[in-house]
A and B are shown apart, each in its own frame.
Chain A
Amino acid sequence: MPKMTAFHSRLEPLNETKIWKNWSGFLVAPQYKYSLTNEYYAIRSSVSLLDTSPLFKYRISGPDSVRLLERIMSRDINRCKVGGAQYTVWSDEKGFVIQDGVILRTSEFEFYLTAGEPTLRYFKSIAREMQLDEVTVDDISEAYGILALQGPHAHNVISQITNDATDLKYFEVVSTQMGETEVIISRTGYTGDLGYEIWVPQINAIDLWDSLMNAGEGYNIAPIGTTALKMARVEAGLLLMGVDFESSRFAWVDAQRETAIELGWSWMFRDLEKDGRDFIGRSAIEIELKNKTSRWKTVGLEIDWHSYEAVHLEAGILPPKSDLYRETTMSIYRRSETPWEYAGYATSFLFSSLLRKPIAIAKLPLDLAIDGTEVDLELSVIRKPVNVLAKVTSLPFFKPKRKTAPMGGGK
């Protein structure tokens, strides 16, 4: 039997579709309304509320916690200040990514981490290997629920309940109270929009849900499912494990694996030479950086509207746009004399209603992964493979000022 998150009793009557799917063994709604695009616009135009409780959650605490995270995380944990958050990855010895996640630093020696797959035993095994006695890794997955409040009016909603979120800059964290409830609020999210993520003890979950929904009523707050979230994250250029990359832990061969650099996260290693951390995968990452041995680079693709329209009109149909989000691999070809010369692949494809064009997240060899390069993306038009023109662009596709803008001053 699938489990239910702490918010389920509130979510269940809201799900008009009555369709549920399984996320890490929990029931979640892929969408609440029949129109995905409608739901998506809660994120971009008003404010959305999403239950992300199925994520695995860990608390890493104790004087040795920093040493443990210095060893595990590919990105330097020391660059995450107290009251800060960090998007980070952990890699294997060969530099292949095991997982990504967001880590919150609530005090000098206390961290909260979300992860898509379980990692308790792995972290503990590294602590044992390092003989670190003064670190505790707690699996608090079922002790806390998490809500993501995302959208242009996110601050207008949260500020009705607490003032402590107002001063948060992008990727900052505060432990505070909302009503009677102890919460951890971070100014983070998976939508690329203004937003907050709120950790709440299970027993207070419903209270938090109700207070946010009440506060959001005047802003048309809407519960959103995972599909609208995934549409938004494509625009934000955020990768999804299992779609845009596989965990190295469960891959069979290196062809299924990718390094942090191949996934576009080389910025995590900008000051690598300045830190002496002996983190797992460091030497492989150094060699990759030095010798430029990356097999791929992860890029954005903007599909040329005219080309997209033309291949459909030629086939006698209108180009599909509405509710169009795909996670199936699509092949990319070099534009050259030789037709169908395989070059790479797209992993996530979206017709962005906001940007008025189809976009995709893709992997290309380094020589093609340059802004403005033209490639062919293979579509299926009336069951036939057809190429459309696409242009390489850097991620993200969409980066509103409000995402990082200060919220305090103007109010």
Chain B
Amino acid sequence: MSNSKNYDAIVIGGGHNGLVNAAYLAKAGLKTLVLERRHLVGGAAITEELVPGFKFTTFSYAISLMRPDIVQDLCLADHGMLVLPLVNTFQPGFNGDYLLLGADADANFHEMARHSREDAESIRDLSHLIDRVCFALKPLMDNIPPNALSDDPAELAAMAGLKDYMAGLEPDVRAMIDKFVNCSAAEILEEYFESDLVKALIASSGIIGSKVGPRSKGSGLVWLFHKMGEYDGVLGEWGFHKGGNGGFTEVLAKAVVAFGGTILTDADVDTVIYKDSVATGVRLASGEEYFAPTVVSALDPRRTFTQLVSADDLPDSLIEAIGKYKFQGTAAKVNFALSDLPSFPGLENRKDIFMGFTNLGPSIDYLEEAFADCEAGRYSRKPFLDCCVQSTVDPDMTPPGKHIMSCFVMYAPYHLSESDWDTERENLGDVVQATIEEFFPGFGSLILHREIVTPLDIERIVGLTEGNIFAGELFADQMFLNRPAPGWNQYRTPISGYYQCGSGTHPGGCVIGGPGKLAAKQILGDLKTQAE
């Protein structure tokens, strides 16, 4: 019996990156155990039937950035991975104005040309340039970044190689990368567009989940990050997983088991067991212990470095960096079960307008005002909403004819200056509902059920510090060489055998899998070196 608690590798946290990491380790032949605190795996990517027949994507709700090589390596299609394409993006404006963009470039040209013929031309240039930027940055996304603080010759060579690579990019691509890093989304968009509706639609990608407004430096990079994905090779496109994002993490769990891994739920890890800076296992809150020479934390950096192990045992510089690492969640979710589809004046009975992202945030000023509330320590009185009626794409989400609507809400700062989230929960729901009502009159009468998820709920339920959906802001000083801390961006920790694989590591948040995969690569490489 004692042997059953001994493993080659233990992964703490059954979020999507923990599962990806475990699947790679199991595939490599390691006896791998995943320990998940909750009764279900998936972390922030779960689907819950909160009302009979209605499946809610409580937190994460769409997919794009999942690295295609992971899909192949882990045979995810065989385990049921099924991402449905989005038909349209709908951006209502003021006074009945709107943008409805779909899959056809020519139709999109004419739709944008209704607002500005120059913008309709410009989007082609900008999209092509962004595609080339994403192509150029793909190797950075898909490989372990170099360690900028190391004097190891291999790392020095990798840093020099990186510098050469960036210098070798075509000048317009390099210049655009610089702009994304140094400029706000609005600044970049001013160069390309005149229509405020067009600018607002694109700018919304630059604020998702981040404490930035469209005019803040940093929104450029967040925007770029959200373009780094693809749908079937179409760069920057998003899709809905069958059964919601929880459907996707179920697929990952199947892959883990298929490769011989074990998943334990209701297993709350209290601490990593280590001695003389060598990890040997984990202890659960129940007191139960599991042992393995490799222990991987899929939790966020604060939990990985200050809760699962004692900060006193780690270098001051690392603890200081983790202390400064910004979480500051700013997003909430309000999810609705609906008796019917909302109706947009002028486009009544058009189901197709909901078959994708419905973006409520009609101007840069609107988004900026929403952000001003956030800066003042309150949730936006007129929030930006990214709404998805997933049941229009996937009928299995609801009873026939009924609908589910997932609304991502910006801004909802974790720290409220004059109240607290347990007090404000229902008020936030009311504000969101009123905002939707403005664009879709009569919305309120369709609501069968409303589920509000505050940043505090995200922290409590999922375990993401301060409710940050990316396990830490996607800011330049927290990315790549610095994620989560300079010198500790290669998935290792100061404790031998203890690794990190959550979204707080490179490449970062979203349902992306990159951290889980690259951590596994590092772990398997280290094990091979040790064996030699």
CA of A252 to CA of B135 in the docked complex: distance in angstroms?
10
Contacts of A2 in B (CB 8 A): 106-107
Stretch at the interface among B117-125, B314-322, B439-447: B117-125
Q: Which B residues touch A252, using CB under 8 A?
A: 132, 135
Known: A121-B122, A250-B124. Contact between A25 and B117, CB under 8 A?
A: no
Is A122 in contact with chain B by the CB < 8 A criterion?
Answer: yes
In angstroms, Cα B121 to Cα A124, docked, is: 12
B354 at the interface (CB under 8 A from A): no
**C-alpha spacing A22/B110, complex, angstroms:** 12
Beta-carbon contact of A120 and B118 below 8 Å: yes
Q: A249-B128, A250-B128, A252-B132 are in contact. Are A119 and B107 (CB under 8 A)?
A: no
List A222-252 residues whose CB lies under 8 Å from chain B: 249-250, 252
Within 8 A of A (CB), among B127-169: 128, 132, 135
A25/B106 in contact, CB under 8 A:
yes
Cα distance A25–B106 when bound, in Å? 5
Nearest Cβ on chain B to A56's Cβ, whole angstroms: 9
Give chain A's interface residue range (CB within 8 Å of chain B): 10 to 19
Which residues from chain A contact B422 at a C-beta distance below 8 Å? none
A118-B116 Cα distance, complex, nearest whole Å:
12
A119 and B117 alpha carbons, distance in the complex (Å): 10
Q: For A25, list chain B residues within 8 Å (CB).
A: 104, 106-107, 109-110
**Given A22-B104, A252-B132, A121 and B118 contact (CB-CB distance below 8 Å):** yes
Measured between beta carbons, the chain A residues less than 8 angstroms from B117 are 118, 120-121, 139
Indicate which residue in A3, A24, A249 contacts B125 across the interface (CB closer than 8 Å).
A249
Report A-chain residues with C-beta under 8 Å of the C-beta of B121. Answer: 118-122
A3: B residues at CB distance < 8 A? 110
A23 nearest CB neighbor, chain B only: B106
A122 to B118, CA, bound (A): 9
> Is the Cβ of A24 less than 8 Å from the Cβ of B109?
yes
In the complex, what distance in Å separates the CA atom of A197 from the CA atom of B215? 49
CA distance A24 to B107 in the complex (A): 8
Minimum CB–CB distance from B71 to chain A (whole Å) comes to 24
> Restricting to B356-394, which residues have a CB under 8 Å from any CB of A?
none
Say if the beta carbon of A255 comes within 8 Å of chain B: no
Q: Verify A24–B106 contact, CB threshold 8 A.
A: yes
Residue among B107, B120, B125, B132 making CB contact with A1, cutoff 8 Å = B107
Residues of B within 8 A of A249 (CB): 124-125, 128
Interface string of B299-342 (1 = CB under 8 A from A): 00000000000000000000000000000000000000000000
Tell me, rounded to whole Å, the shortest Cβ–Cβ distance linking B365 to chain A: 24
Given contacts A249-B125, A250-B128, contact A124 B118 (CB under 8 A): yes
* Residues from chain B with Cβ under 8 Å of A122 in the complex: 121
A63 to B: closest C-beta gap in Å: 23
Instruction: Considering the complex, give the chain A residue whose CB is closest to the CB of B107.
Output: A25
- Compute how far the CA of A250 lies from the CA of B118 in the bound complex, rounded to whole angstroms: 17
Min CB–CB distance A58 → chain B (angstroms): 11
CB distance from B46 to the nearest CB of A (A): 38
A-B contacts, 28 of them at CB < 8 A, read A2-B106, A2-B107, A3-B110, A22-B104, A22-B106, A22-B107, A24-B106, A25-B104, A25-B110, A118-B117, A118-B121, A118-B124, A119-B121, A120-B117, A120-B118, A121-B117, A121-B118, A121-B121, A121-B122, A121-B125, A122-B121, A124-B118, A139-B117, A249-B124, A249-B125, A249-B128, A250-B128, A252-B135
